[in-house]
Amino acid sequence: MADTATDQAFVEFERVQKSYDGEILVVKDLNLSMPKGEFLTMLGPSGSGKTTCLMMLAGFETATHGEIKLDGRPINNIPPHKRGIGMVFQNYALFPHMTVAENLSFPLEVRKIGKSEREEKVMRALGMVQMQDFAGRRPAQLSGGQQQRIALSRALVFEPELVLMDEPLGALDKQLRETLQFEITNLAHDLGITTVYVTHDQTEALTMSDRVAVFDDGRIQQLAPPDELYEEPQNSFVAQFIGENNTLMGTVSKINGDRCEVTLDGGEIIDAKPVNVSEVGQRTRVSIRPERVEMNKERLQPDVHTLRAEVLEFIYMGDIFRTRLRVAGNDDFVIKTRNAPDQVRLTPGTQIEIGWLPQDCRALDA
Amino acid sequence: MAEAMLAADGTPLKRSLARALRRQKLRALALIAPLLLFVLITFIVPIASMLFRSVENEIVANTLPYTVEALADWDATGTDLPSDATFEAMFYDMFIAAEAKRHTRLGTRLNYETTGVSSLFRQSGRRMDDVADISYEPLEDLDKAWDDGATWYALFNASGDADQALLSEQRGRVARLSGSDASADINFAPDAQAAALLPLAAREYTAWAVYVATQDNRDPAERDPWEAVAPALVTDLQTADLSGYSGPMADMLRTAQQANLTVPNFTREFADMDEDWATLEPWQTIQTHAGTYTPGYFLNAIDAQKTPEGIAWQPEEKQILLTLFGRTIWMSLLITFSCIALGYPIAWLLANLPMRKANVLLILVLLPFWTSLLVRTSAWKVMLQQQGVINDVLVWVGLVADDGRLIMINNQFGTIVAMTHILLPFMILPMYSVMQTIPPSYLRAAKSLGATNWTAFWRVYFPQSVPGIGAGSILVFILSIGYYITPEIVGGTKGVFISNRIAYHISSSLNWGLAAALGTILLAAVLVLYWAYDKIVGIDNVKLG
């Protein structure tokens, strides 16, 4: 599941394990390799080990086992201040007793850079986030979004090649978050910096990243570009964690290459694409995205199985309609349809027939 | 919108808001009223009374009213003794003061200013009767009736018009002298005619009558007056014109006048009593400190004193208080710095440990609070004395020779050690609560930006912990500057604080005025330091949590 190390890997985790108490492994056998310039997001529920990984990379935690390499050099024994990694924290961590300019100047001062050069770099870094006018303010006089911009430019001012971001937008409101997501990705790509971004917000992960590593239970469950992650989840955790998802339980009854038939617990038969199943008789959890469910029989392939469904609820959401159905004993089966002029609005109690393209329905681990 | 906003019921919105708020305010006031009263009674009032006591000086004018009056025009910086009239006034003041046993108190008060006044007053008080007898005995020899109280009563008690002015004047004199009420009804009023004819005798008799009636609860008609009335009468008779007098005892008065009895020479009598009366010093002291309010106690508190020539330093051997103030402040600073040095790492550890461990450690920090202050201080005595635990260990280890045991107690070292220990929690707690609010991510951020551990601490963590240090320092410094028990027990003579001196003046020397002045200076010093701290660091930067 994890990427294999490549020659041009810039950041590498090799069989990294981490335990805090000697009993439970928070990070279990982590292997990860990032090329230079990549924007990689670590996504996962809290306690999944993603922040621990970030802290090990930054040097604030030591790996219990395994090796972390930066640009080919093992950095396990290098203290954080010598790693030269920029970092943006969730609570911004701007030093409250210093002005914005002093905050930005701090990493340059400790690097013993001359005053004039310092000032020039500080103004340039502030310029990158359009905050030149705020150089003399204290962090407390800035809004959350402004603080995060400053924190970002502080992490970039000493021109690190790797920047780590620990849920940097977690405390901001939705609109600001979206603006900043855009700004951060643009900046990262323009400057060519390698970025490791930690978040538990899947939208953020999908919109910003080159690749997303989905963490759960101390392991990377899937490492893939956003579209692949959404459309081709490798296991039921990823399928359920990323986006909205309908699941049905059943048993594989027939396998034929990249198509299989699954007999649901109620006896209905559906078509699916085998992903985590390999033989007949295996228990499986099939997963189908709400927007891939089709109600119009004419658009389905003639030979596919269909299911009967009863409309339980119709929710008007503006751009889309969300219809909740009872399908094969599952009351939470949701379909999403676009608010198109010819789209019917289903009333509760209506009996309909639904189906899907076999490749959109993935038979995953139970 | 010129029109006022109206509430739903039509009353102006502002008024109904004010009414609603007033009810809230009253409720809040009712809730804090008990505490407010408590603070007022136990804190504000004592402090105000202490401030007042440090300048209050009524005792001189109350005890020696006529002397103070007679001395008013005397040039204390000259070489001449006060006039004979002053000595005469002194006699009558002193006589009644001695009868009321107030002269020793005044002596004690004036002794704070001039050593020896106390014994001068005490000894002279006893001799007043002898001086009075110089006139009393010849009078008695002249007519046995003068020895009878009834004679005097008949002479001065109002048969015609009463001199109410004289009566109320003497009531005031007695009240001020004795410090108690003298307005009760008495079976006496001075006769206006007798008072006009014999003013001094009438004055002294009235004073006596008021005194026995209000202070001793006796009927002046049935008692013999003090002997002081005799010299007063004899003095009056020398100038009185009895030709038109037809009141009581007219014949006896005429006989006495013709006998031409001698008035005591008060100046000489006082000089005979004690040669100090013939020097300028006691008189200068009385005149200098005659005022109702005096800066004298404050001057004493800074080793100065008020003299006829102005303010002057105390003699060298009496100058101890400024040194003591300096030592108190210096040692308090040392204690504060020791507390910072010892407390900072502990507070840091507490703030960075997991909650459960931090709580256990915190209990250890607070443990001293559960032990009596006296016990802890005494324990230090056991630890530090020359035959104590530390010295024993040092001798046993061989670091110190048996005959060269360290002196660690009854000096400044002992006080600093014991007080640092006792005040340490007051430093740790505010520092801890401030450090708790500093997120660890600041240090991480600093390190990720390239700062070494030390730079990260010094440039980022330390500045943010300063409010805690400030709060702890103010607390410890203010507590230690007024500390009493510990310096008293382990301080010896070199390690005591100004508060020990205050306690001495309160309980031993009974010089409450000086104690109050010292306390006031201490209070002012703390306020000044507080103000200075506010100017330098800013009181907003002080956080107790």
What tens digit of pLDDT does each residue of A17-35 get?
Answer: 999 888 888 999 899 999 9
The CA distance from B42 to the nearest CA of chain A, in Å, is 41
The answer to whether A323 and A346 have CB atoms below 8 angstroms apart is: yes
Contact B448 A58 (CB under 8 A): yes
pLDDT value, residue A3? 44
**How close, in Å, is residue A76 to chain B by CA atoms?**
15
ipTM above 0.85, yes or no: no
CA distance B299 to B290: 16
Q: What is the pLDDT of residue B4?
A: 67
- Tokens representing A341? 């002029």
Amino acid identity, position A303: D
- The shortest CB-CB distance from A80 to any of B441, B447, B460 is to B447
Q: Which backbone phi and psi does A263 adopt, to 5 degrees? A: -90, 115
Break chain A into its structural domains and give their ranges.
9-236, 244-364
B454 contacts on A by Cβ (under 8 Å): none
Spell out which residues of chain B touch residue A95, defining contact as CB-CB under 8 Å: 442, 445-446, 460, 464
Cα B144 from chain centroid? 50
Q: What is the mean pLDDT of residues A259-268?
A: 88
Pseudo-torsion of CA A346, A348, A353, A358, nearest 10°?
80
Could you name the CATH architecture of B321-541? Answer: Orthogonal Bundle (1.10)
Determine contact, residues B89/B69, Cβ cutoff 8 Å.
Answer: yes
Interchain contact, B447 vs A154, CB within 8 Å: no
Cβ–Cβ below 8 Å for B450 and A111: yes
- One-letter amino acid at B505 equals H
Characterize the bridge pairing of strands A9-19 and A65-70. antiparallel
How close A236 comes to chain B (CA, Å)? 35
Distance, in angstroms, between B417 CA and closest chain A CA? 35
Residue of B351, B478, B333, B362 lying closest to B425 (CA atoms): B362
**CB nearest B449 (choices: A59, A60, A107):** A107
Chain A interface includes B449 (CB < 8 A) = yes
Residue count of chain A? 366
Residue A215's pLDDT is 92
Cβ–Cβ of B445/A81 closer than 8 Å?
Answer: no
Query: Where does A244-364 sit in CATH, by number?
Result: 2.40.50.100
Query: Is A93 in Cβ contact with B439 (below 8 Å)?
Result: yes
Tell whether B445 lies on the interface with A, counting CB pairs under 8 A. Answer: yes
Kindly list the residues from chain B whose CB atom is less than 8 angstroms away from the CB atom of residue A97. 463-464
Output Rg (C-alpha) for chain A, integer angstroms: 25
pLDDT attached to residue B381: 87
B449 contacts on A by Cβ (under 8 Å): 81, 86-87, 106-107, 110, 154-155, 158
Backbone angles phi, psi at A117, to 5 degrees: -65, -35
Per residue in B508-518, pLDDT tens? 988 889 999 99
Q: What is the reported pLDDT for B388?
A: 87
B455 inside 8 A of chain A by CB: yes
pLDDT given at position B494: 85
| Structure-token pair, residue A246 | 């309908």
Residue of A nearest to B444 (CA): A60
Residue of chain A whose alpha carbon sits nearest to that of B439: A93
Q: Mind listing the pLDDT tens digit for each residue in A52-106?
A: 999 999 999 999 999 999 988 899 889 999 998 999 998 889 999 999 999 999 9
B contact test, residue of A106, A113, A163 with most B CBs within 10 A: A106
Instruction: Decide if B464 touches A, using CB distance below 8 A.
Output: yes
pLDDT at A2: 42
Q: How far apart are CA A177 and CA B369, in angstroms?
A: 50
Q: Which residues of B touch A153 (CB under 8 A)?
A: none
Alpha carbon of A157: minimum distance to chain B alpha carbons (Å): 9
Tokens 């804190």: give the residue.
Answer: B43
Whether chain A has a CB inside 8 Å of the CB on B450: the answer is: yes
* Whether CATH 3.40.50.300 fits A9-236: yes
Could you give the strand order of the β-sheet that contains A162-166, starting from the edge strand earlier in sequence? Answer: A85-88, A162-166, A194-199, A39-43, A211-216, A219-224
User: What pLDDT does residue A115 have?
Assistant: 92
Q: Please tell me the distance from the alpha carbon of residue A49 to that of residue A45, in angstroms, as a whole number.
A: 9
- The mean of the pLDDT values for chain A is 89
B464/A96 CB distance under 8 A:
yes
Q: Which of A82, A89, A158 sits opposite B445 (nearest CB)?
A: A89
Across the A/B interface, how many CB contacts are shorter than 8 Å? 66
Q: Which DSSP string corresponds to A93-149?
A: ---TTS-HHHHHHHHHHTTT--HHHHHHHHHHHHHHTT-GGGTTS-GGGS-HHHHHH
B439 near A CB under 8 A:
yes
Q: Residue A1: pLDDT band by 50, 70, 90 thresholds?
A: very low
Give the DSSP H/E element, type plus range, for residue A215. Answer: strand A211-216
Are the beta carbons of A80 and B463 separated by less than 8 Å?
no
Where are the alpha helices (H) located in B198-308, listed in sequence order? Answer: 199-214, 229-239, 250-259, 266-273, 281-288, 296-301
Cβ distance A89 to B451 less than 8 Å, yes or no, reads no
Q: Which residues of chain B have pLDDT under 50?
A: 1
